[in-house]
Each structure stands twice: as C-alpha cells, then as structure tokens.
C-alpha cells in the first residue's frame, strides 16, 4: 500500500504541539560508552554532538532506571541524581544545533546478564528464564516491588527533565522489562499485574501514567513522550500483532507524541506468519484505531539512502529513524539533501575523524561495517615484555605486554591486587582500546589522563624493545637508521611537510617530543585565511590577494618580511586546494579581527579547524606509512662540511640514537609555553597565562641556533584578547567573527571587537577590572560548534534573558540591556557608530538563550623565530642558506611581523609546510 509522499525535510508537529525541523530521527543505538558505573564519558558527548545537525531529533540510547536494569556493558544510567550533570552535557550537545534531545528509559528485566550486576539474579515479572541458551532464571518482582519499579521509571523521567532533555521514549521493545510484563511468555503472574491481556497491560499503562505525571510536575506541556515497541514475539505463547495494536490503542488514548517500531527493516513483514509478505507498517496503517491514527509513527531499519527513507514514508511512516548510517556519516542529513548515494561502510582509519567511541567501534553493530585499509604494521619480536611505569601521583603499575609479530596481542596488570577497582577498570578500558587500535596512541579516559598515559607508555616501551629485538634477530643494528629527511615536530607544518616530501619521493621520519601528535595546531579554532579561493567564489565572496597582503601587512605593523608575506598570500589558495585534494575540505568561511572580508576557511560543520586539520593530516600520514616517533626529543642537528648529515635523538628513557639524514625540517612551533624565554624577551609578560600546549618551548629555535641560524622579531609576542583565565582556554575569534560583542563590568562595549588582537588586548588590559565578557546569543552558538566545547568545559554563563545574564554576571543590568539594544540597531543600520566596526554585523543579539564568557588576554603566539627565505631554507647570520636545514610554522620569524592576524597561523603552517617538504625533497635529489 502506498500513500502520498511526505517530504523528508518538511517539519512535523507532534500532538503536544512541538515542531521538529524535519522527519529525520537518529535511532537509539547501543554504544557501550558509559563508565562502568553508568556515568557519561566525554567521547559519548562528542559522539552525539557531531551528529546533532540538521535533523529533527536524536533518541539517545536507553538509560537504565535502576542498577539491576542494565542489559549491556557501558550502559548509561538514569538511576541516580548523580547522573544528571553528565547527561545534561549530552542534552546540551544535541540541542545546540536545534535538534530535539530524547532519551530512552528502560530496564532489562530477565535479559540482564548477572555478570553486569555483580552476580545478582535479574528481576522480571515471573521467575521464567528467557527461551535462549544459558539464560538465567530471574527473581519475580513482588507486588510491592512492582510499585517501586514504576516509581523508578518516574524518577528516571524526572532526571531526564532535570538534565534538559526534550522528551523520553518509553522502551517497551526488545524483550526488555516493559515488554516482558505485556508478554504472555514472560508474565505468568496471577495477581493484578498478570493473567489476561488487560491485566498484563497495566504495567505499560502505569509507566506511561507516571511518565506523564512527572512531565506535568517538572516539565511543561511541550515535553515529548514516545513509546517504542516490538510488534511481535516468536515465543509461544507470545505477543502477536493484534496484541500490539491493542496495546498501542490503549496507550494512544492516554496520550502519546509518537510510537516507534523496533525492527531490522522498515518494511519487514511478519516474523510469525512467514507466508504473508505484507509489510507490518501496511497492516498497522490499515488496522490502527482512530486514536492511534492521530499519533505519528516512526519507522527504523536499513535506512541508508534517501530512497530508503522515501520508501518508508510512502508506506505510511511519519518519521524515519536512521541508525548505522548515522554512525558512518555524522552529517547524513546534509549528504542526503545533496542527493549523495551512500554505501554502508567505514574505513578502518576513520574512527577518530567520525567521533566513534572505541567501545562502539568494537561493537558488532559497527564492526561489520569496517573496511580494513591499513597496510602497515611495525615489526616486533613476538613475546611478553614487562614494564614498570608510574602516573603523576607516583602510583606504580607493573604491566605485561604481549606482542605478536606485527600486532599488540594483550596486556595484563600484574599488581592489580594492590590497586583500587576504579584504576583496574581504567586499565581494562585502555587495554581494549590499545588492542583494538593496535597502537598505544589512543584517546585517554576523561578524568584519568595520567593513569592512561602511564598504561600507554608501558606499551610504547615494550614495542620499542621488541622492535629492536626483531631488528637484531635479522642481523641489523637498531641504533643505526638512515632516512632522506627528518621532520622535527608533528604539528600542522610538520605533517604537511612530511606528506609533501613523501609524495615527492623522499623517505621521511617524524620526530615528536610529546606523547601525542598535533602540537599547538590541535588548539587552533578559527580557521585558515586565504584569498581568491574556489570556496569564496562559490559563495560569491569577492576577494583579492592584494587586499589580503595589505591587511596582513597593516596588521603586522608593517614589520612583515615582504617576500615571505608575498609568498604566503600568493600560495594560500593553493594550500586550500592541497588540503581539499587530501580530503581535508575547508569550505565554510567566516572572518577574524583585522580582515575586512570573509576569508577564514573552516570545516563545513563549523567545527574548530585544528582537530579537523590534524585528524585529516594523520590519515594521510598513515596512508603513506610515514614513521612517527613520539616521546622522542631531537637533541642535536649534526653538520659535516657545512651541511646537515644527521639528527641525534633521545627517547624518554634516555636512550640516544643517531639518525643519518640528508635534510632536516624543523617545525617545532614557538616558545609561548617557555616562561624563561618569554620573560627574557618580554619582561612585561611575566606571569601571563598561555594558550600554548606545554611542548611549545622554543626547542627548535635553539637547535637551529646551534648550527648558526639567525633569528628575527624575538620580542614580538602576541597576546590573544579572549582567553578564559582559569583554564587558559582560548575563546575562538570566530565567535566575535560570528557576531559576538565584548562588554566591560559596567555592561558597555569599549572596543571594536574585530580590531587586531594587540589593540583589543590593550583595551581589555586598560579596563579597571582588566577583564571583559564576550556576549552572544543562540544564533552565534548555532554557527560555531566551538561553543559546544566551551559548554562542555563549564566556561559559559547562560541565561534566558539579558537581565538574567547580567544578574548572573553581577554586572549592570540596565547597562548591558542598553548596550545590546544599541548594538542591534547598528546591525540593522549596518554601521557601528561607536567603534566603526565594519565586519561581522551579521544579526542582532536577540535570540535566547544568551551566553557570556569572562575573558582576559593570554600569551598566544610568538611571531619571532629563525630566519628563512621563500624556499624555507634556514638562513645563517650572513643571511645565507644552511645546507639541508629547512623550517616552517611558528618556529620561523618574519611572516607575521609585530602582530599575527587570526586565521593566518593555520595558513602559515600549511603553506610553508608544503614548501618545506617540496624544497627538502628537491635538495636530496640534487645532493
């Protein structure tokens, strides 16, 4: 049976009056990503955040209502008020882009494995085991315990409301407890909760009643209540389709906002009457009662492409829930809208880029989608290696690492009997991540970073020993290694240089002193500046390189090196293309301070550019099998006959090794995290917080100085105006570029927010309080995903009105309201009468909620560094090239002059990183 086609992207209004922006719902899927105690992890928050764009609602995986209710490991809980804060971050992450956040409430009943609940027996309506192999016999709930269970569902709803969810989905499917009460197979009670169908119906109706009561008491009439159901059971006796229609009719009469099929395919026919090919949705539409016909119905199962969704809608579904396709494609709705044809598969190197938590990556739901694209592995001598490591609190861990010939086989914690249960849980989680990734370089567990780094270090040490043993076994010398080019530093410049040099035929190795790849690039947030790009042209932005050059020169106070700046400007669009060719597309465009035109390129998702960039570059490094040595310090660049011949390195254990090489590319960043160097060149900046990662110590500058490199502009140190002082978290310039304003304690603007960083910083430091607030509304938040990060780190004050915001900030309410009203008028007139702001007058600040972050300047960028020419050759004090020495990125001086424009650093590292790779590869061919 076919019905008039509903448009997938049309809004839909639920019975309670809530409007969803379209008919797309992300289906609830088990992720196994909660902590062992049911609390929320950061990676779970991030998983939902990146999937929250351009869909009607996300239904979060089921939250168990009591400790005996979790049906799978890593489940999240709604069983305690302690869960509310963590769950609120999930709700906020989803709602940030306008999607509705709904969470399932459930109890596993007899489907719970006793191992998950401390060896206890599960509970159920009756003491009848599920008809499945090795199923435990549950304990039947007493009448009093049934009443208590209903209350637990109610309390779970209250907690969902307190956490900020827009609704709950009562999970009456998948043979869990609610379905068990309705099923004649699992419910064989002889009290009011069992027996005939109407008695078995009492429990789901009671759950709906208490859910509605909690919504009435603690939410408003817009709180969404849905019900998920499995239409049939195979068991005899069991639920049949007419039983389901009877149940749903009674629920519909009491009031629901939607019902949700739980099936493997939207058009699945009966699993009981296998001779009838009629899709159950067709029977549902034909046979449903008038009350049920008023309730929207969601279909789920095997929806990958738009044709799948459209087919479901033509059969009568009002909304479509998308499951595995949303794991593989976090931007599924956008792709479908663009008429892309998708295949349900995930490359094995895409986990981090797709924000798929490690436990979900191993779950059969996802594992079946993974395509192995890895073709490289480090060679080990198989065996066990015992390592002793410690965390920052001097807790000692003795770890056995078992290695195969080319893979990490297992890890065991030898002194587990002397450690607390939480530590053991963390170890087991990290072990699983490492073994699955076949790498020690995996994400740490939030809140246990130091322990995790210790565990990972044990594996790194074992791998190093094993690799040396394998080389020795083959008759080689592990302390002798030779490559064409050594790249020192793994930020954006180093990675770009390594990729380009490899593609130009060189054998490349990257040396990184930190334990993770990315350096300061990981912290970059705004974007990458470039003029005359294809993406500007597509958006109708008319820009030119001459204007870009002049604005950068002016921003740098005319101290920029003219030839370097010209090369920078001329090659910026080529660098954008270079990234795009490598799958790193920066197609959305905004602006930053000092620019008069939108030329700051960022991901289409409007996410922070740094993590996006590093993730993409790492993928390219992995594809090329470029060796990266982490926690390894370059201690000396060796010269013979005035040219580079080797790099001496030292690992964390102090072992020294010499790498023979023909060329070196130094891309170690600046010295913003080196207080001694900062105060040496700028005593006035002593004790100012820094936004830099702790590895930005100027070590590359020192290395190059030892071989005769000259330096320039070492006293030019930029402070960024918008830094949250307690966390040293940089608040992206794209927030101001998106339309935010800066106000003082008096609630007044005091500067052109889009002026250059040095000027804005000066004005903040000139205020009596020496700090300010960046103020914006929901429109700015929607356009800048970085705001979600700030919320997740509790950096933001939020309110529903301007007056409430002022009260929370303890600033003058009238002053703030007057300031915003005046600014809004400037936006209407497109002219800033007070400070002559000409850019980012995008829209008035008038959409609740309203946000503010207290900020002050912090050390951000060191414009000074070694001198280079446009070939990125390092110059000596006579301005002659040092043969075989190249440099790119913040380690270099002269590009930015006395002040760096926001968005120019990312351009700098990619433009000159590519050039360094090209020139170094050409040099070794000629020598």
How far apart, in Å, are the Cα atoms of 598 and each of 282, 353, 556, 842?
Answer: 51, 26, 19, 12
CA atoms of 334 and 330, how far apart (whole Å): 9
Tokens at residue 615, please? 């993730």
- The answer to whether 57 touches 99, Cβ cutoff 8 Å, is yes
β-strands 100-106, 167-172: how paired? parallel
**Backbone CA torsion sign across 83, 88, 93, 97:** positive
Residue 757 annotated as catalytic: yes
From 546, 548, 538, 524, select the one nearest 599 (Cα to Cα).
548
Number of C-beta neighbours around residue 137 at 10 A? 14
Sign of the CA dihedral running 866, 872, 874, 879: negative
Between the alpha carbon of residue 661 and those of residues 637, 665, 802, 924, the distances in Å are: 10, 11, 61, 9
* CA 436 to centroid of chain Cα atoms: 20
Residue 139 CB burial class (10 angstroms; 0-12, 13-18, ≥19): middle
CA distances from 815 to 291, 800, 850 (A): 53, 17, 16
Residues 67, 117: Cα–Cα separation, whole Å:
7
Q: What is the 3-state secondary structure (H, E, C) of 892-919?
A: ECCCCCCCCCCCHHHHHHHHHHHHHHHH
Identify which of 780, 783, 784 has the alpha carbon closest to the alpha carbon of residue 820.
780
- C-alpha dihedral (207, 208, 212, 218), degrees to nearest 10: 30
Return the residue matching tokens 């920078």. 568
User: Residue 774 pairs with which residues in a beta bridge?
Assistant: 742, 853
SS3 645: strand
- Residue 782, judged by CB atoms within 10 A of its CB (0-12, 13-18, 19+), counts as middle
Cα–Cα separations (whole angstroms), residue 35 to 146, 158, 300: 28, 22, 28
d(CA 482, CA 470): 17
Please work out, in degrees rounded to the nearest 5, the angle formed at the alpha carbon of residue 497 by the alpha carbons of 491 and 500: 135
Provide the pairing of β-strand 24-26 with 57-64. Answer: parallel
Please tell me the distance from the alpha carbon of residue 329 to that of residue 311, in angstroms, as a whole number. 20
Catalytic residue, chosen from 324, 757, 781, 837, is: 757
Cβ–Cβ under 8 Å, residues 761 and 857: yes
**Separation of first and last alpha carbons in the chain:** 75
Contact 44, 33 (CB under 8 A): yes
The secondary structure of residue 618, as a DSSP letter, is H
d(CA 192, CA 194): 6
Sheet strands (E) in 537-631: 588-590, 600-602, 627-629
| DSSP 8-state class, residue 368 | T
42-49 and 84-95 helices, crossing angle to 10°: 20
Q: Which residues are catalytic?
A: 757
């Amino acid at each position: 049976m076919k019905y008039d086609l509903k448009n997938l992207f049309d809004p839909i209004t639920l019975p309670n009056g809530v409007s969803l922006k379209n008919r797309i719902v992300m289906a609830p899927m088990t992720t196994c990503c909660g902590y062992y105690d049911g609390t929320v992890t950061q990676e779970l928050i991030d998983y939902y955040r990146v999937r929250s764009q351009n869909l009607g609602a996300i239904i979060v995986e089921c939250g168990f209502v009591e400790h005996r209710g979790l049906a799978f490991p890593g489940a999240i809980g709604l069983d305690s008020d302690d869960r509310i804060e963590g769950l609120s971050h999930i709700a906020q992450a989803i709602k940030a882009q306008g999607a509705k956040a709904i969470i399932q409430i459930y109890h596993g009943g007899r489907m719970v494995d006793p191992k998950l609940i401390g060896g206890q027996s599960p509970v159920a309506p009756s003491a009848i085991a599920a008809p499945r192999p090795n199923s435990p016999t549950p304990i039947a709930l007493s009448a009093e315990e049934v009443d208590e269970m209903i209350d637990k569902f109610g309390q779970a709803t209250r907690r969902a409301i307190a956490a900020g969810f827009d609704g709950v989905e009562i999970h009456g499917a998948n043979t869990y407890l609610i379905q068990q009460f309705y099923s004649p197979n699992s419910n064989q009670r002889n009290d009011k909760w069992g027996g005939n169908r109407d008695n078995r119906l009492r429990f789901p109706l009671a759950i709906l009643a208490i859910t509605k009561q909690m919504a009435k008491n603690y939410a408003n009439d817009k709180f969404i209540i849905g019900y998920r159901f499995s239409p049939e059971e195979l068991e005899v006796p069991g639920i049949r389709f007419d039983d389901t229609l009877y149940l749903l009719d009674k629920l519909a009469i009491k009031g629901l906002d939607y019902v949700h099929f739980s099936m493997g395919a939207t058009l699945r026919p009966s699993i009981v009457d296998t001779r009838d090919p009629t899709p159950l949705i067709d029977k549902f539409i034909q046979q449903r009662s008038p009350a049920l016909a008023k309730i929207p119905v969601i279909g789920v199962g095997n929806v990958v492409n738009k044709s799948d969704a459209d087919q479901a809608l033509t059969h009568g579904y009002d909304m479509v829930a998308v499951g595995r396709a949303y794991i593989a494609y976090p931007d599924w709705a956008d792709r479908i809208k663009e008429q892309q044809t998708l295949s349900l598969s995930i490359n094995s190197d895409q986990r981090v880029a797709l924000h798929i938590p490690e436990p979900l990556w191993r779950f059969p739901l996802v594992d079946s989608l993974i395509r192995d694209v890895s073709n490289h592995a480090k060679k080990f001598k198989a065996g066990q290696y015992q390592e002793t490591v410690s965390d920052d609190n001097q807790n000692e861990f003795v770890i056995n690492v078992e290695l195969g010939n080319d893979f990490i086989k297992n890890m065991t914690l030898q002194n587990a009997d002397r450690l607390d249960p939480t530590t053991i849980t963390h170890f087991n989680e990290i072990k699983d991540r490492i073994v699955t990734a076949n790498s020690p370089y995996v994400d740490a567990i939030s809140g246990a970073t130091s322990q995790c780094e210790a565990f990972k270090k044990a594996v790194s040490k074992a791998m190093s020993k094993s690799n040396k043993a394998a080389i020795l076994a083959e008759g080689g010398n592990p302390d002798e290694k030779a490559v064409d080019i050594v790249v020192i530093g793994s930020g954006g410049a180093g990675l770009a240089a390594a990729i380009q040099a490899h593609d130009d035929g060189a054998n490349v190795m990257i040396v990184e002193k930190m334990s993770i790849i990315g350096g300061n690039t990981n912290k970059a947030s705004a974007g990458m500046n470039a003029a005359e790009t294809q993406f500007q042209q597509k958006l109708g932005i008319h820009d030119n390189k001459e204007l870009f050059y002049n604005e950068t020169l002016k921003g740098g106070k005319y101290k920029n090196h003219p030839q370097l700046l010209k090369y920078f400007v001329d090659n910026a669009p080529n660098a954008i293309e270079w990234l795009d060719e490598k799958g790193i597309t920066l197609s959305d465009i905004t602006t930053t301070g000092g620019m008069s035109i939108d030329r700051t390129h960022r991901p289409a998702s409007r996410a922070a550019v740094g993590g996006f960039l590093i993730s993409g570059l790492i993928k390219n490094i992995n594809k090329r099998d470029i060796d990266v040595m982490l926690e390894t310090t370059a201690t000396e660049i060796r010269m013979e006959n005035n040219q580079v011949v080797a790099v001496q390195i030292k690992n964390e254990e102090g072992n020294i090794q010499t790498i023979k090489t023909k060329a070196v590319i130094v891309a170690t960043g600046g010295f913003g995290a080196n207080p001694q160097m900062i105060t040496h060149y700028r005593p006035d900046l002593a004790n100012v917080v820094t936004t830099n990662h702790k590895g930005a110590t100027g070590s590359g500058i020192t290395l190059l100085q030892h071989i005769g490199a000259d330096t320039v502009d070492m006293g030019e140190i930029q402070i960024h105006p918008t830094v949250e002082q307690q966390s040293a978290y940089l608040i992206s310039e794209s927030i101001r570029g998106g339309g935010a304003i800066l106000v003082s304690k008096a609630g007044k603007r005091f500067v052109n927010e889009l002026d250059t960083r040095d000027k804005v910083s000066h004005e903040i430091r000139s205020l009596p309080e020496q700090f300010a607030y960046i103020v914006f509304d929901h429109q700015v938040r929607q356009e800048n995903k970085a705001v979600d990060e700030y919320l997740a780190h509790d950096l933001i004050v939020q309110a529903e009105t301007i007056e409430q915001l002022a009260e929370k900030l303890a600033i003058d309410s009238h002053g703030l309201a007057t300031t915003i009203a005046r600014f809004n008028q400037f936006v209407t007139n497109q002219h800033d009468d007070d400070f002559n702001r000409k850019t980012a007058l995008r829209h008035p600040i008038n959409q609740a909620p309203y946000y503010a972050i207290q900020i002050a300047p912090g050390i951000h960028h060191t414009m000074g560094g070694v001198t280079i020419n446009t070939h990125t050759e390092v110059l000596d004090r006579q301005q002659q090239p040092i043969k075989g020495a190249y440099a790119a990125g913040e380690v270099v001086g002269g590009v930015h002059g006395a002040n760096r424009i926001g968005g120019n650093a990312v351009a700098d590292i990619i433009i000159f990183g590519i050039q360094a790779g090209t020139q170094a590869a050409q040099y070794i061919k000629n020598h």
